[in-house]
Chains A and B, each alone.
Chain A
Amino acid sequence: MDSYDASKLTPRQDASSRFKDFFIGATPLQKRLESVRKQTSFIPTPPRRKIPQGSQLQEDVDPQKFAFLLHKQWTLYSLTPLYKFSYTNFKEYSKLLNAFIAAEKQKGLAVEVGDDFNIKVIFSTLMGVKGTQRDPEAFLVQILSKSQLPSEHKEEKVLWTGWFCCIFGDSLLETVSEDFTCLPLFLANGTETNTAIIGTWFQKTFDCYFRPLAINAFNLSWMAAMWTACKMDHYMATTEFLWSVPCSPHSLDISYAIHPEDAKALWDSVHKTPGEVTQEEVDLFMDCLYSHFHRHFKIHLSATRLVRVSTSVASAHTDGKIKILCPKYLIGVLAYLTELAVFQIE
C-alpha cells in the first residue's frame, strides 16, 4: 500500500489567481476579453506544477471500469467548447451519429475493404474522470460492429473508441458562458477515417473545432520529470527516451533506456520541494541524462529533438499519441494534457 503523500498543495502562482478576485460577477464576454488580454501580455511558464497524486479519482467509482482506457494508444486532439450539448440526449445523439456514419459510408467517401455496415454507436458517461466538481463529466463514444451471422449474435467488436474529458480546466471554464460545455481534451483510438467522420459530425452539430494536439520537446521533458517523480510500488516498464537527430538523407533516432529505479534515484537527488516540480529541477534532471550520454558517446543530446518519452506511468509521443499504463495516475496525466489542450485552444 502506498503511503499517502501529505504534502501541502501550493496554490498556482500564475496571474489568473490575481485576476479572479476582480472578475466575480463579470459577464463571460468580459472574462474572455480579460483572458485574451492576459495571453497577449507576458505570461511566464508556470514555474512549478504539482506532482500527480495517486487516488484522485472520485471515491465512489470503481477503478476497474477504467481498465479499458489503459494500455491503448490514444491520439490527442484539442476541442473548443461544445455549444448546446446535453448529457441527457445521448440516445438521440447515438441515432443521429449512426445515421451520419451510415450515410458517409454509403457515399463511398470512407470505404474499407470488408467493412461491416451494421454498426452501432453508443454514447455513455464516464463517471469520475474529472479533477474538481466544476469539471464537466467525461463521456465516451464507441462504434461497435454488429455481427451479421446469427450464431455469433451476442458478440460485438469495438471498432472505434473516443472520449472527451476535462481535468482541472478552471481557466477555460471561467471564460465560457452557460450554453457551452468545455471538454477540451479528446482522445481517439481507431482508424483515421472513423475519427474524421466523428469529428465532422461533432463539428457540424455542436459548432466546435478539433485540432490535433502535438506535444513539443519542452513539454515532453516536463512529462518525463513528473512521471518519474510519481511513487510506484513496482515498475512495469523501463524508462525510455527517444531523440530524433535531424540529418540528411534521413534522420537518425537515438534511444536511451534507463532502469526505472535508477531514474527515480536520479530524480530524488535533484528534487527539493516535496509535492512540486519546478522548471530548474526538470532542466537539471534532463541535463544529468544529457551529460551522462555525452561522457560516453560524445554526442550532445541537447542539440537533438526529444520525440518520445516512456515511463511506467505513461508514454507520450510528440505527434500527440499517448498510452497510459498506471490507473493510479490517470487523472494526473490527463490534467497535464488538459492544460496543453487548453493552451492550444486559447
Chain B
Amino acid sequence: MSALRPLDKLPGLNAATILLVGTEDALLQQLADSMLKEDCTSELNVHLARALPLPCSVNRPRIDLIVFVVNLHSKHSLQNVEESLCHLDAAFFLGKVTFLATGAGRDSHCSVHRNTVVKLAHTYRSPLLFCDLEVEDFRASMAQRLVRLLQICAGHVPGVSALNLLSLLRGSENPSLEDL
C-alpha cells in the first residue's frame, strides 16, 4: 500500500482518468454518471474510491486528477478525507488535487463549518469547489467543469498545464485567506 504518485505510469493514448474519493457513495456515482455523459474528445475514465490508500492489486491507468468530496452534513466524510490525504505523494498537490464541498445549500443540516473545508484546501494549496451535488442542474455544471479540469490535468489542452491552472485559480481567491 504505497502512496499514489502522479507520474509513475505512462499515460494512455488520449485517455484521461479521474479519481473521486469520498464517503457519499450515491453522490459520487451520480457525479460520475454526469461526467460520463459529457461530450469530450478524450476518453474518460472515472474511478470511485471510499478512501485512500487504494488496493495495489488492481491494474489501473495513471490518475490525472483526484477530487476529494466532502459532505458538509457529515463530519465523518471530512475525517475520511483528512486521513486519505496522508497517502498521497506531495507531487500530486501541484494542481492535480481538488476539493469539492457539497451540502452547503442546506445550512440547517450542516455539521461542518465551511471555513473548516476552506482551511483544509488552503493548507494543501489546492482549489476548493462548492456544489450541491444533490441538485441535478448544479451537478451537471460541476461535471462539465470537472471534465474540463481533467482534460487540462491530463495534458490534452495545448498551452495550459495543471500547474498553470493552479496559479490561475489561486489568483482569483480572496487575498485575506493569507491571514489564516
Chain A residues with CB under 8 Å of chain B are 41-45, 214-218, 221, 286, 290, 300, 302-306, 318
Residue of B nearest to A43 (CB): B115
Q: Assuming the A-B contacts A44-B180, A216-B107, A216-B109, are A300 and B174 also in contact, with contact meaning beta carbons closer than 8 angstroms in the complex?
A: no
Verify A218–B112 contact, CB threshold 8 A: yes
Q: Which of B95-124 contact A (CB under 8 A)?
A: 107-113, 115, 118
14 contacts between A and B (CB under 8 A): A42-B174, A214-B107, A214-B108, A216-B110, A216-B111, A217-B111, A218-B111, A218-B112, A218-B113, A286-B75, A290-B75, A302-B75, A302-B79, A303-B76
How many angstroms from the CA of A43 to the CA of B113 in the assembled complex?
A: 11
CB-defined contacts of A218 to chain B, threshold 8 Å: 110-113
How many angstroms from the CA of A214 to the CA of B112 in the assembled complex?
A: 16
Verify B23–A303 contact, CB threshold 8 A: yes
B177 interfacial by beta-carbon distance below 8 Å: yes
Residue of A nearest to B177 (CB): A42
CB-defined contacts of B23 to chain A, threshold 8 Å: 303
CB-defined contacts of B76 to chain A, threshold 8 Å: 300, 302-303
B34 interfacial by beta-carbon distance below 8 Å: no
How many angstroms from the CA of A43 to the CA of B179 in the assembled complex?
A: 11
B74 interfacial by beta-carbon distance below 8 Å: yes
CB-defined contacts of A217 to chain B, threshold 8 Å: 73, 109-111
Verify A302–B180 contact, CB threshold 8 A: no
10 A-B pairs closest in CB distance: A217-B111, A303-B76, A302-B75, A302-B76, A214-B108, A303-B74, A42-B176, A300-B76, A216-B110, A216-B108
CB-defined contacts of B111 to chain A, threshold 8 Å: 216-218, 221, 302, 305-306
Closest Cβ–Cβ distance, residue B75 to chain A (whole Å): 4
Contact mask for chain B residues 68-106; partner A; CB cutoff 8 A; 1 contact, 0 none: 000001111101000000000000000000000000000
CB-defined contacts of B177 to chain A, threshold 8 Å: 42
Closest Cβ–Cβ distance, residue A274 to chain B (whole Å): 25
Closest Cβ–Cβ distance, residue A77 to chain B (whole Å): 14
CB-defined contacts of B112 to chain A, threshold 8 Å: 218
Chain B residues with CB under 8 Å of chain A are 23, 73-77, 79, 107-113, 115, 118, 174, 176-177, 179-180
Q: Assuming the A-B contacts A303-B76, A303-B77, are A41 and B110 also in contact, with contact meaning beta carbons closer than 8 angstroms in the complex?
A: no
Residue of B nearest to A222 (CB): B113
Not counting A216-B110, A216-B111, A217-B111, a sample of 8 additional A-B residue pairs whose C-beta atoms are within 8 angstroms of each other reads A42-B118, A42-B177, A42-B179, A214-B108, A218-B110, A218-B113, A302-B111, A305-B74
Name A's interface SS: loop
CB-defined contacts of B115 to chain A, threshold 8 Å: 42-45
Total A-B residue contacts, Cβ distance less than 8 Å: 50
Closest Cβ–Cβ distance, residue B39 to chain A (whole Å): 34
Residue of B nearest to A215 (CB): B108
Closest Cβ–Cβ distance, residue B92 to chain A (whole Å): 26
How many angstroms from the CA of A214 to the CA of B110 in the assembled complex?
A: 11
Closest Cβ–Cβ distance, residue B26 to chain A (whole Å): 11
Verify A305–B109 contact, CB threshold 8 A: yes
How many angstroms from the CA of A106 to the CA of B176 in the assembled complex?
A: 57
How many angstroms from the CA of A305 to the CA of B106 in the assembled complex?
A: 12
Closest Cβ–Cβ distance, residue A333 to chain B (whole Å): 20
CB-defined contacts of B73 to chain A, threshold 8 Å: 217, 305
How many angstroms from the CA of A270 to the CA of B90 in the assembled complex?
A: 33
How many angstroms from the CA of A306 to the CA of B176 in the assembled complex?
A: 32
CB-defined contacts of A216 to chain B, threshold 8 Å: 107-111
Closest Cβ–Cβ distance, residue A83 to chain B (whole Å): 28
CB-defined contacts of B108 to chain A, threshold 8 Å: 214-216, 318
How many angstroms from the CA of A215 to the CA of B179 in the assembled complex?
A: 28
How many angstroms from the CA of A215 to the CA of B111 in the assembled complex?
A: 10
Closest Cβ–Cβ distance, residue A67 to chain B (whole Å): 32
Verify A41–B176 contact, CB threshold 8 A: yes
How many angstroms from the CA of A148 to the CA of B107 in the assembled complex?
A: 47
How many angstroms from the CA of A179 to the CA of B107 in the assembled complex?
A: 32
CB-defined contacts of A306 to chain B, threshold 8 Å: 111
How many angstroms from the CA of A214 to the CA of B108 in the assembled complex?
A: 6
Max chain B Cβ within 10 angstroms of own Cβ: one of A45, A300, A306 = A300
Residue of B nearest to A319 (CB): B108
How many angstroms from the CA of A286 to the CA of B79 in the assembled complex?
A: 13
